[in-house]
Chains A and B, each alone.
Chain A
Amino acid sequence: MSDENKDLASQDTAAERRAAQPGRPAVEAKRVHKAFGDLHVLKGIDMKVMPGTVTVILGPSGSGKSTFLRLINQLETLTGGEIDVNGEMIGYKRLADGTLQTLNDKEVAAQRAKLGMVFQKFNLFPHMTALENVMEAPVHVKRMPKAQARELAAKELTRVGLGDRLDYYPSQLSGGQQQRVAIARALAMKPEIMLFDEPTSALDPELVGEVLGVMRQLADEGMTMIVVTHEIGFAKEVADQVVFMDGGVVVESGGPGIIDDPKEPRFKDFLQHVL
């Protein structure tokens, strides 16, 4: 309960901070296409995500939401178009003669370091404790000394409310706790942008709240977030931008107000089914 009060208190300052962010988008998708073999999944997605804002992507199953997030994090390769993160094209660099050169592993890893990702199935490392999960990347990717990484990991875990679960293995934690460890693990790399792919879909209903609570707190702190979710309440409350995708295209987008006042029949239809 005290947590909630804290959230409310910090909310207007975060909102102000967001409103004050002008200029360059944190993520910009330009006519993005993706095909798996003959299956044309994304058919020209345009999207701008400003720094410090929360974008919620809604859409029916199979509309390509996960695919879009995975493209931003280079877990899939683009078929057409371009994605920029902080103004820098991802996955390729443009050579002097205008042709594209695929980036090597190291360059891709460097670009990924700016992005944190949280998966529907948590994907925690089961052979490591919560603390070790969170320490892993700082120690082995950033070469941070172990003692310092341990301190950082404990701090991140405390931040998501798991300060007393440091030495638990994922299999000893509830789904909601596991997902919060996964969020802490991503945060420990100090990403500028967080991507969430249906972070609460694999959870029992009573555990959804604790994960959304952590995400809300992150949004209030001014983290740039792209969230794929079916939690309409969360979208209304936290989103600065709502994007509705269907059939591989953006059907409707705008402020959170569009949820209460949808224009497109397909969006109306979708909302009726979800609510």
Chain B
Amino acid sequence: MPHHVEPDGEGLPIPNRISAKPVRRTGSIVAAVVVAILAAMLVKGLVTNPRFEWNIVWKYLFNERVLEGVGYTLLLTVISMVVAIVLAVILAIMRKSVNPVLRGVSWFYIWFFRGTPVYTQLVFWGLFAVLIPRLSIGIPLTSVEFWSVDSQTVITAFNAAWIGLALNEAAYLAEIVRAGLEAVDPGQAEAAQALGMKRSMIMRRVILPQAMRIIIPPTGNETIGMLKTTSLVLAVPFTLELQYATNAIANRIYKPIPLLIVASIWYLLITSILMVIQSMLEKHFGKGFEARPVGTKGKQPPLPGKTEGEPKDDVDKTNEAAFLGYNA
């Protein structure tokens, strides 16, 4: 949505409309020039320094193994974050449940997974098939078994990697989600109850969408953190992600610096994309919150659902409406 900047009250009959030049800001222009010069020097230093070996950076930037590493890193980040978010919402809702067993389980989960290092957890998941050779579903403490499978076929290195990352991350996210849920005014749930909405629906339709506003910024942080935490999956060991792939190449050709730069470029690129997605989500869930009441200080926010074609029309209606409002 393009930001449509338009002077206040355009189209209104204001004979003495003010048109003035903005405040002169000499200081900020000087500062901008200084910063630009410094930045240019820095870039030139980096690009022209032969020790960075940009030709090698360029050669390996789109290397097959590197690209595969980028793919796996992205995949691990996305899968583990999605699973972690779903788990975290469940944990946070359990934490606020009326049922003490559910509350206890959630508390214990968060305590355990936050309390042990993620590296250790990943090692454990890597050893899963050794520690627990067969997974089965049956009646506990009897020999009745409905279904069973070899752990090795289910908990592959890749699966162990995202399971380990997701379970750990869920514990952190659960606290973020809980803080978001608690920030929503209890009057919201009461109003929804009074309308006959049931508990699960109130959570889904009323509480969560508002909590999202508070949940998203720290979750964006966590996602970008996760992007880099994926390099720890060598503990499993899973060795196809970006950090490991570039490291392997660096060791082979004895050129650590250019390959670190290759990895950094990709991490930066993915981070930038994630930041764009985050800001789109923030805008979506911020709907209705950024707006100021009509006629208060500051610019009126663009009206929802308004098309570019009919701004004047709306301004007229707004005025008429304000007029009627006071008469009603």
Contacts and interface: CB of A to CB of B under 8 A. Distances in A.
Interface stretch (A45-53, A114-122, A266-274): A114-122
A161 B324 contact: yes
A58 to B, nearest CB: 23
Contacts of B287: 127, 169
A162 B23 CA distance: 40
Interface in B198-245: 198-199, 201, 205-206, 209-210
A131 B27 CA distance: 48
B198 A109 contact: yes
Contact of A167 (B188, B195, B305, B324): B305
Interface in A177-203: 177, 182, 185-186, 189
Given A105-B199, A140-B197, A169 B191 contact: no
A244 B306 CA distance: 49
Contacts of A161: 324-325, 328
B328 A210 contact: yes
Interface residues of A, number: 47
Contacts of A126: 210, 288-289
B327 A1 contact: yes
Interface stretch (B11-19, B102-110, B154-162, B290-298): B290-298
A109 B321 CA distance: 36
B321 A123 contact: no
B285 A127 contact: yes
A171 B288 contact: yes
Contacts of B194: 73, 75, 112, 115-117, 186
Contacts of A147: none
Contacts of A9: none
B195 A129 contact: no
Contacts, number: 113
Interface residues of B, number: 40
Interface in A147-180: 161, 164-165, 167-174, 176-177
A110 B193 CA distance: 11
B185 A172 contact: no
A161 B322 CA distance: 11
A185 B195 contact: yes
B253 to A, nearest CB: 54
Given A123-B187, A123-B188, A109 B288 contact: no
B310 to A, nearest CB: 12
Contact of B210 (A121, A127, A174): A127
B308 interface: no
B288 A165 contact: no
A172 B314 CA distance: 14
A203 to B, nearest CB: 13
Interface in B297-328: 300-301, 303-306, 317, 320-321, 324-328
B150 interface: no
Contacts of B191: 117, 119, 123-125, 182
A109 B196 contact: yes
A116 to B, nearest CB: 7
A213 interface: yes
A164 B321 contact: yes
A125 B188 contact: yes
Contact of B201 (A129, A140, A168): A140
Given A105-B198, A112-B196, A137-B197, A176 B288 contact: no
Interface in A93-143: 105-106, 109-110, 112-113, 115-117, 119, 121, 123-129, 136-137, 140-141
A189 B196 contact: yes
B288 A112 contact: no
B190 interface: yes
A17 B173 CA distance: 58
14 contacts: A75-B190, A105-B198, A105-B199, A117-B194, A119-B187, A126-B210, A126-B288, A137-B196, A137-B197, A161-B325, A168-B304, A169-B287, A171-B291, A174-B294
Interface of B: 185, 187-188, 190-199, 201, 205-206, 209-210, 285, 287-289, 291-294, 300-301, 303-306, 317, 320-321, 324-328
